[in-house]
Chain A
């Protein structure tokens, strides 16, 4: 089965700096990846997603990079703001028509003012 893991459980960055959160997955058949942000007391919120036929996708202040060779993806947040403080999860869909997502453990991002 699929397993998804994050490299660091916590990350502290200075306000205004860029943040990079990493994630690894195990199933080479995974074809869809998604990053969620979860604030305290709330459900996860969609940040950005990427399909396996792409290497990079950009949103507003966020970029996701996918390296299928080493089964690794990262989330980059530009000019990190206090409102970015949250737990970030990556999730992968195992492909083959599966609609299920396997979630990683989460990285808690703390922004230092």
Chain B
């Protein structure tokens, strides 16, 4: 069973605030991902990391930033939240050394509302 955790699960915050969404996994996976998902819509990759000290931007432009200082931890930060950031944020991880190599395990998500 996948052990990947996200906090907070729900966050309502005012415009201009700085926020950090937490994501941790206990599976020792080397790869981690952040997706943005509007209700019922497809997932868009916003950031990914293939290992410690490695981060890349995904296909969807995002004003957020990420860091990967430890294998198990992949936080996402918004320096100044805006209403356009209102969405669900999903964190995932995968293991590249074990087949099928591409299966991603997802956390429960953080639903962010910016007023």
Where the two chains meet, the residues of A that have a C-beta atom closer than 8 Å to any C-beta of B are 1, 4, 32, 34, 36, 41-46, 49, 51, 87, 89, 91, 93, 99-106, 108
Contact = CB atoms under 8 A, between A and B. Distances in A.
Query: Which 3 pairs of residues, A with B, have the shortest CB-CB distance?
Result: A43-B106, A103-B43, A93-B102
Interface string B71-115: 000000000000000000010101010001111111111000000
Interface of B: 6, 31, 33, 35, 40-45, 48, 50, 58-59, 90, 92, 94, 96, 100-109
Given A99-B96, A105-B42, A42 B108 contact: yes
A104 B40 CA distance: 11
A110 to B, nearest CB: 13
A51 B100 contact: yes
Contacts of B33: 100
B42 A103 contact: yes
Contact of A100 (B6, B48, B100, B106): B48
A48 to B, nearest CB: 10
A70 B91 CA distance: 32
Contact of B90 (A43, A51, A102): A43
A99 B102 contact: yes
Contact of B43 (A41, A42, A89): A89
Contact of B102 (A4, A34, A87, A103): A34
Contacts of A44: 43, 90, 106
Interface-centre pick from B33, B43, B59 (highest chain A CB count, 10 A) = B43
Contacts of B100: 32, 49, 51
Counting chain B CB atoms within 10 Å of each CB, the highest count among A32, A43, A87, A99 belongs to A43
B111 to A, nearest CB: 8
A91 B43 CA distance: 10
A1 B59 contact: yes
Contacts of B104: 34, 101
